[in-house]
Structure 1
Amino acid sequence: MNNYIFDVDGTLIDTEKMYLLPLQKTLRANGKPIAYDELKKVFGITATDALRMLGVKDVSAVQKQWFSQIKDYQNEAKVYPGIRETLTKLHANSHQHLAIATSKIKAEFQRDVVRFGLDRYFDAFVFSNEIVHGKPAPDLILKGIEKLAADPATTIYIGDTIYDLQAAHAAHVAFGLAGWRVQKTSEFANSDYYFAKPTDILAIGDPESSRSH
């Protein structure tokens, strides 16, 4: 592989509790108590799509309440072990190019990714406000391919949800499952790669020369 496009939430950064705890609190305050395990099923897609899937009627108002509370849970977010090492080595190879394609908007990206310094490893970024359809549609990944001027045949999208898998295959690129967050159940049987830990990604890379800085 020469082109690596990454999801963010649940792949690079563990943001599950940062998002879902305030979501659960917000829904409960609006008379819609939902178990945490049920909320996990909408993790990784846009907030608007998630709220619609949960049956929320006034999506705009509830989303505003939800997002106003996320700041109180920022300490719950952390970079997964092995991610920095993996990104450092991928970025160092001049034959390899990296992009992020995320359901986040740019402001969320600044809050959740830039503060950890992960943005420096990437050549391109795609946010949800740049495309028409969120995952499982292929739009995010297709835009990432466009920005990298990448060949889909040598491109992989790495993520942690069934929506990521479906989006990758709809974009005609390989899908790598982030096994440090989820197990390869039957739901992910069509995954092209299963990475138990982030550094396993390095095994499919181009071994040629490193970048000079």
Structure 2
Amino acid sequence: MKYKQIVFDVDGTLIDTEYAILYSLQETIKIVTGNTIELDGLSFALGITGEDALEKLNITDIPYTLALWDKNMSKYSDTVCVFEGIPELLDILTKSGYQLGIVTSRTSEELDHDFCRFDIYKYFSTIICADDTSEHKPSPAPLFKYMEVSKTNNRELLYIGDSTYDMECAKNANIDFALASWGSNLTEDISVTFRLSGPLSLLDIII
């Protein structure tokens, strides 16, 4: 096997949370500031930590706003789902001998709320959340932490994500990157190691 471990981002890669994240953020900003920001103006928040997103929006009371955002996010929980093909992919990878992991911009608490309820959580042996490192994507720190915990090196990993932050994190860590096109809005001209049309297309590359 070219890689020993396949590492996934969560939002936009394993689960579809775009609607829930953007609409709950829009609602939160309206409550806190009185301003309505169009969804296009909030799309930058996809793929970075909630704290970093609120800092970019010049929110002063970040702890309160984060808590409110999390509360509002729960209203949209029924819109969050696992992408088609992901359960089958994870099952095949596991049976083929790959170790699976996660590097996400979510905190461990946020991951518990919105991801652990899905049955696919059982497939992952190493999980790095935002509260595991002081620097976050696009910094390579989360993937460096992953390698430290999993006792792997950069040539043994493939990182799969949907955002520019994921791509830059992998590049900065010198790790091969596969773009999850099913959850991505990135253009065709960006440079990636692999471009996946669907989850199961990964199998054509590594198995």
What is the CA-CA distance between 1:51 and the residue it aligns to?
0.7
Kindly provide the amino acid, as one letter, of the partner of residue 191 in structure 1. V
Letter in 1 for 2:78: N
1:50 counterpart (50, 53, 61): 53
- Amino acid across the alignment from 1:90: L
Deviation of 1:119 after TM superposition, in Å, equals 1.6
Question: What's the TM-score, normalizing by structure 1?
Answer: 0.90
Which residue identity does 1:116 align to in structure 2? F
Structural mapping, 1:154-193, within 5 Å: 154-185=156-187, 189-193=190-194
SS of match in other structure, 2:51: helix
Partner in structure 1 of residue 110 of structure 2: 108
* Closer, same or farther: CA 149–204 of 1 in aligned 2, 3 Å: farther
Please report how far the alpha carbon of residue 122 of structure 1 lies from its aligned counterpart in structure 2 after TM superposition: 1.3
Question: What does 1:1-213 correspond to in 2, within 5 Å?
Answer: 1-29=3-31, 30-94=33-97, 96-185=98-187, 189-205=190-206, 207=207
The answer to whether the 8 A contact 1:156-1:175 is kept is yes
- What amino acid sits opposite 2:23 in the alignment? L
Q: CA RMSD in A?
A: 1.5
Q: Is the 8 A contact 2:164 2:186 kept in 1?
A: no
User: Following the alignment from structure 1 to structure 2, what is the Cα–Cα distance between the partners of residues 203 and 9?
Assistant: 23
CA drift of 1:158 comes to 0.5
Structure 1 residue 184 displacement after superposition: 4.9
Q: In structure 2, what residue type is equivalent to 1:81?
A: E
Q: Residues of 2 paired with 1:107 and 1:10: CA distance?
A: 18
Question: Percent identical across equivalent pairs?
Answer: 32
Conservation of the 8 A alpha-carbon contact between 1:97 and 1:148: no
Unaligned runs of 5+ in 2: none
Q: Unpaired segments of 5 or more residues in structure 1? A: 208-213
Whole-Å separation in 2 of the counterparts to 1:108 and 1:91 = 25
Cα 1:47/1:85, change in 2 over 3 Å: same
TM-score of the superposition, structure 2-length normalised? 0.93
Given that 1:12 and 1:80 are in contact with CA atoms closer than 8 Å, whether structure 2 keeps it comes out as yes
For 2:119 and 2:148, the matched residues in 1 are separated by 24
Equivalent pairs, count: 204
Task: Work out whether residues 46 and 104 of structure 1, in 8 Å CA contact, stay in contact via their aligned partners in 2.
Answer: yes
1:133 aligned counterpart, secondary structure: coil
**Residue type of the alignment partner of 1:92:** K
Kept in 2, the 8 Å contact 1:91–1:122? The answer is no
Which is further off, 67-76 or 106-115? 106-115
Per-residue deviation, 1:114: 1.6
Q: Against the structure 1 CA distance between its residues 101 and 128, is the aligned structure 2 distance closer, same or farther, given a 3 Å change threshold?
A: same
Q: Give, in whole Å, the separation in 2 of the partners of 1:203 and 1:155.
A: 17
Q: Give the superposition deviation at 1:128.
A: 0.9
